[in-house]
Amino acid sequence: MDKIIVRGGKRLKGRVRVHGAKNAVLPIIAASILSSRGEILIRDVPMLEDVKTITQLLLSMGIRTELDEKAETVRIQAEHVEQTEAPYDLVRKMRASFLVMGPLLARKKHARIPLPGGCAIGSRPIDQHLKGLEAMGAEFHIGQGFIEGTVPDRLRGARIYLDVASVGATENIMMAAALAKGRTVIENAACEPEVVDLANFINAMGGQVRGAGTDTIRVVGKDFLRGTEYTVIPDRIEAGTYMAAAAITGGEVFVEGAITDHLNPVIAKFREMGVEMVEGENGIHVRADQPLKPVDVKTLPYPGFPTDMQSQMMALLLNAEGNSVLTETVFENRFMHVEEMKRMGAQMRIDGRSVLIEGGHPLSGAEVKATDLRAGAALVLVGLVAQGETAVTELHHIDRGYVGLVEKLRSLGADIERISEETGEKVNIQHSFA
Ligand SMILES: CC(=O)N[C@H]1[C@@H](OP(=O)(O)OP(=O)(O)OC[C@H]2O[C@@H](n3ccc(=O)[nH]c3=O)[C@H](O)[C@@H]2O)O[C@H](CO)[C@@H](O)[C@@H]1O
Ligand SMILES: C=C(OP(=O)(O)O)C(=O)O
């Protein structure tokens, strides 16, 4: 097991490049299963553990899949899909594995996938995925920890109203609808940029998806989809994390590749806190030379403030001069990092779905554990300003979603390294990706 060691007190300065979006590339790779002709080439693929997991999943189905780490590409040839059962070992590592359900049902009329289960941030049910797919003619049977879906005839288009604007359910239904017979309408659909990216990818394969990015998506099913080349959007959450790193250290950083439109709610809150945010040609300049002001924040589905930036925002608010309230409305249990931050001197209290934060108290380094992916990044952010040394453990969470976090922060001037707990030696994660 590795840990990240960070010694606080450095002001970050420079330029950092944002990689492709994890939450866009995972559904895009899953959607490749829909293509029965030609080859798919996906560019700007972040070489993350989650990407490795989903490509292994495709390989386990007999789909030709090749990751090129240097070129940051994935090539997929899905003419033959030999296996429609997903191994538990892969699904338990990553909930997004469930995104192969829609494509498999559409393409092969069968899928058997281990139930993804709960996780650190909440129970995360899949009822909306199933409701949508059932409306299109799929039948489900649950047993022995698996969910098995079958399609007696061919999936057919349907009108589906989602009770919650779930990102994953919208994506699963959209993918299934792309090969269904007739027209599907998804109402109360999720509007996240990653949903739009998936729709664009399906269209690039010859699909017909309209309205992605609004709450009503219309899909006309096609008889087949074909190979294409596609470039994934930049990761707005990774961008937001580096924006927070600049702001928390009173630094000045150009976050290259960040798309302002995708980050509006985050940028607005940073500005309210007194951080200068200037849109550049291909990114955002962040400059923080004033004390941070406290603000209230509530997470919401897009275009609201993203839940995936909640813990990083908390790190920032701990350093604001005054009290803030941070409310989480998307997941019911996404405050696991609060106790870890308290170990570093944070003064805050959970009150139902909100956290009352008293900013401005001194923070000191401690050994803390990443309780989920974004919580891990947030603890590193606190470490950047805490006095002394912070050691962040349970790095498998961080590795799911950040390419070269340590290297990128170090290039901005942070005093940070990753060491192996067994040998005490430095680890360069970019070389440890198999
Ligand atoms: C791989 C990926 O893209 N992950 C993102 C995706 O997760 P994911 O797609 O799992 O998140 P959802 O949008 O589905 O979940 C939002 C809320 O809806 C609830 N829900 C969801 C499905 C369902 O069938 N029933 C139901 O009640 C969930 O419990 C949660 O409270 O969107 C989340 C919300 O922006 C992000 O935090 C995750 O980073
Ligand atoms: C919660 C996240 O991802 P996942 O849905 O894959 O767990 C995340 O990216 O912050």
Euclidean distance between CA atoms 201 and 155, whole angstroms: 21
Residues annotated in a binding site for UDP-N-acetyl-alpha-D-glucosamine:
95, 124-128, 308, 330
Strand order in the sheet with 276-280: 13-17, 252-256, 283-287, 276-280
Question: How do beta strands 225-226 and 35-37 pair?
Answer: parallel
User: Does ligand 2 lie within 6 Å of residue 330's CB atom?
Assistant: no
Counting atoms of ligand 1 from 1, which one is nearest the CA of 306?
Answer: 35
> Which ligand does the CA of 128 lie closest to?
1
pLDDT tens for residues 91-130? 988 889 999 999 999 999 999 999 876 567 878 899 999 9
- pLDDT at position 433 is 38
Q: Which domains does the chain have, with CATH numbers?
A: 2-19+234-432 (3.65.10.10), 22-231 (3.65.10.10)
User: Does ligand 2 lie within 6 Å of residue 308's CB atom?
Assistant: yes
Among residues 81, 119, 120, 220, which one is catalytic? 119
Ranges of residues in the chain with a pLDDT under 70 are: 117-119, 428-434
- pLDDT at position 119 is 64
- Ligand 2 mutation target, pool 314, 400, 402, most atoms within 8 A of CB: 400
For helices 167-178 and 127-135, give the axis angle rounded to 10 degrees: 20
ipTM of the complex: 0.99
User: Does ligand 1 lie within 6 Å of residue 305's CB atom?
Assistant: no
User: What is the amino acid identity at position 214?
Assistant: T
Instruction: Establish whether 191 is a catalytic residue.
Output: no
The model's pTM is 0.97
pLDDT tens for residues 213-253? 999 999 999 999 999 999 999 999 999 999 999 999 999 99
Closest-CA residue, ligand 1 atom 39, reads 308
The answer to whether 305 and 265 are in contact (CB under 8 A) is yes
Give the contacts of 217 (CB within 8 A, at least 6 positions apart). Answer: 170, 174, 185, 186, 189, 195, 199, 209, 210, 211
pLDDT tens for residues 294-308? 999 999 999 999 999
Euclidean distance between CA atoms 79 and 64, whole angstroms: 9
95 CA distance to ligand 1 middle (Å): 10
